[in-house]
């Protein structure tokens, strides 16, 4: 009888441990999605700063967002924008969190228009800067949009992708 009781207790303890590990794993999976959607563009911008040098770039404000992309601040929840300090450099990095996902394609199109305009102005003027525009990254994930025109565009894209894993 005592042996049977010991066997029952061991099975019970193992079952409790397995259930605890399973619940812990599942709660970790569910919690991650919520954290990604609550990320601010400032936090994403900080992570991007770790993979590329933004010291020479100027941080843009809502007026710059409107001027460059024709995007009003009421269309985006938050954004970070870095532009080249002079008009002879093509570098530009933007991360936007769109308020309404149904406006995502419209905003992406506005960014594409900016890229096209910029591409035309650099094509014959500064070929090495034009190359940066051609290898740009423009992508969306959930309600976030990333634009990276930079020599480090691939590193920036990798960082952006890792945030949303």
pLDDT in tens, 48-95: 999 999 889 999 999 999 999 999 989 999 999 999 999 899 999 999
Buried b (16+ CB within 10 A) or exposed e, 12-29: eeeeeeeeeeeeeeeeee
18-26 average pLDDT score: 60
How much is the pLDDT for 33?
A: 46
φ, ψ for residue 131, nearest 5 deg = -60, -40
pLDDT, residue 147, reads 96
pLDDT at 49: 92
User: What is the pLDDT, as a whole number, of residue 22?
Assistant: 62
Residue 111 is predicted with a pLDDT of: 96
Gap between the Cα atoms of 118 and 113, Å rounded = 9
pLDDT, tens digit (0-9, with 9 covering 90-100), for 141-164? 999 999 999 999 999 999 999 998
**Per-residue confidence (pLDDT) for residue 136, from 0 to 100:** 95
Q: Which two tokens stand for residue 123?
A: 């094509």
140 sits in which H/E element: strand 137-141
CA distance 95 to 70: 15
Position 39 confidence tier, pLDDT thresholds 50, 70, 90 = confident
For residue 66, the model assigns a pLDDT of 94
Each domain of the chain, given as residue ranges in start order, spans 1-38, 40-163
Residues 6+ apart with CB under 8 A from 123: 130
Please state whether beta strands 76-83 and 92-98 pair in parallel, antiparallel, or not at all (unpaired).
antiparallel
CA torsion sign for 153, 155, 158, 159 is negative
Q: Is 96 helix (H, G, I), strand (E, B) or coil?
A: strand
- Taking 50 as the threshold, does the pLDDT of residue 31 lie above it? no
């Amino acid at each position: 009888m005592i042996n049977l009781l010991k066997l029952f207790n061991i099975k019970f303890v193992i079952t409790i441990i397995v259930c605890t590990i399973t619940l812990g794993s599942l709660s970790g999976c569910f919690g991650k999605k919520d954290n990604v959607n609550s990320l601010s563009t400032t936090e994403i911008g900080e992570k991007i700063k770790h993979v590329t040098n933004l010291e020479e770039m100027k941080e843009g404000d809502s007026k710059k967002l409107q001027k460059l992309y024709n995007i009003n601040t009421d269309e985006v929840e938050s954004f970070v924008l870095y532009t080249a300090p002079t008009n002879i450099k093509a570098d530009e990095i933007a991360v936007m969190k769109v308020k309404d996902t149904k406006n995502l394609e419209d905003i992406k199109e506005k960014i594409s228009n900016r890229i096209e305009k910029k591409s035309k102005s650099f094509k014959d003027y500064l070929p090495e800067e034009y190359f940066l525009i051609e290898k740009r990254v423009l992508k969306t994930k959930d309600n976030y949009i990333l634009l990276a025109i930079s020599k480090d565009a691939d590193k920036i894209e990798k960082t952006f992708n890792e945030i949303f894993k």
